Amino acid sequence: MTQPKNNVLQVLKPKFRVEEVLKEIKECLDIGWSGMGFKTTEFEKEWSLKYQFKYSHFLNSATTGLHLAVKIMKDKYRWKDGDEIITSSLTFVSTNHAILYEQLSPVFADIDSSLCLDPESVEKMITPKTRAIMYIGIGGNAKNYKKIREICSDRNITLILDAAHMAGTSWVSGNHHVGLDADITVFSYQAVKNCPGNDAGMICSNDPELDAAARNLSWLGINKTTYDRYSKSSYSWEYDVPNLGFKYHGNSISAAMCLVSLRYLEEDNAYRRKLASWYFDRLSQSDHSNSEIEIIEHDDSIISSRHLFQISVNNRDEVLQKLASQDVYCGVHYIANHTYDIYKDFKADTKRATYYSQRILSLPLHLGLTEADVDRVSDILIS
């Protein structure tokens, strides 16, 4: 395999503590259990304990978690096909696919300069058919989350939090994780997310009924797990299948990797914030600050996971090319979903989503970067 050149900077890159990960995985191999149960149970407990979610269920991705979130709430409240979920256009397509999987209609409200949902636009898009709001904490940010929470409470609307970028994002005041008060919160441990595993996710709530539904539906609708049957000394083969479920649960090898990432998550996020503050210093210096580079700031009421550092520029594609010509590879998170074919016929208020979709880019931000790397990227940008 060809190794990447030393001076190449990728936008996102996982850091794995290889020895520790192998030790966790070895435990699975030694006892002969790589499936659901064992390490998945251990990781669920650690996650709930650390961030105070009452219930956490480990899945094979956040995409499946978002689908389950929508399905469980649709079943519970008997939403009808065609009912509406207000969402953002500026997200990974998983968020909005989850709505379509359940024959519901995404309604795209606009974002503000934080790239998160704009509460004013959300209010405007509410109709008698609105059943839920999908809030996405882009880059680890939580701007307007509290306002969106209020809107949901006032109008009896379900709040689903796509926390794929938010592992560890907490409120400064109270120092607890953002999303404890959402109806359902979904995390991603995909390899380039800030708490990396090898494709995995978590669905969290404070409601035992929702947790039970998630566990049942993630395991094909079967009412007993294989691990339950295995671990209760006499292996009993009997089970029933009350629901049509999916094969969405996570496995012990993935959970082993996530357990190690969780151990370092706070420390890693702190270093991400440090990188972000270096970028901020370099890019907001007086002589070029007044126009060409708009920095997407994170709400100062949170301690952000800092999954991303995003900026907005007029000539995005030119800037991307220039950076790439010097081996700095950036990303775009995201192209507005309402511009994709399957989403173009839904209701949309997307002036700013369209604007930012054409201008934003994500600078390299991962644990392999140094202050000198930040200088290098900033110098190219400024020039």
Ligand X SMILES: *Cc1c(COP(=O)(O)O)cnc(C)c1O
By CB under 6 A, name the binding residues for ligand X: 61-63, 91-92, 94-95, 136, 162, 164-165, 188, 190, 201
Q: Least CB distance from residue 288 to ligand X, whole Å?
A: 30
Q: Least CB distance from residue 63 to ligand X, whole Å?
A: 3
As a three-state string, the secondary structure of the chain is CCCCCCCCECCCCCCCCHHHHHHHHHHHHHHCCCCCCCHHHHHHHHHHHHHCCCEEEEECCHHHHHHHHHHHHHHHHCCCCCCEEEEECCCCHHHHHHHHHCCCEEEEECECCCCCECHHHHHHHCCCCEEEEEEECHHHCCCCHHHHHHHHHHHCCEEEEECCCCCCCEECCCCCECCCCCCEEEEECCCCCCCCCCCCEEEEECCHHHHHHHHHHCECCCCCCHHHHHHCCCCCCCCCCCCCCCECECCHHHHHHHHHHHHHHHHHHHHHHHHHHHHHHHHCCHHHHCCCCEECCCCCCEECCCCCEEEECCCHHHHHHHHHHCCECCECCCCCHHHCHHHCCCCECCHHHHHHHCCEEEECCCCCCCHHHHHHHHHHHHC
Pairwise CA distance, residues 61 & 250, whole Å: 8
Instruction: Tell me whether residue 188 or residue 357 sits nearer to ligand X (CB atom).
Output: 188
Q: Least CB distance from residue 34 to ligand X, whole Å?
A: 19
Pairwise CA distance, residues 47 & 101, whole Å: 28
- What is the layout of strands, in order, in the sheet containing 201-205? 55-59, 201-205, 184-188, 158-162, 130-136, 84-88, 105-109
Q: Least CB distance from residue 362 to ligand X, whole Å?
A: 11
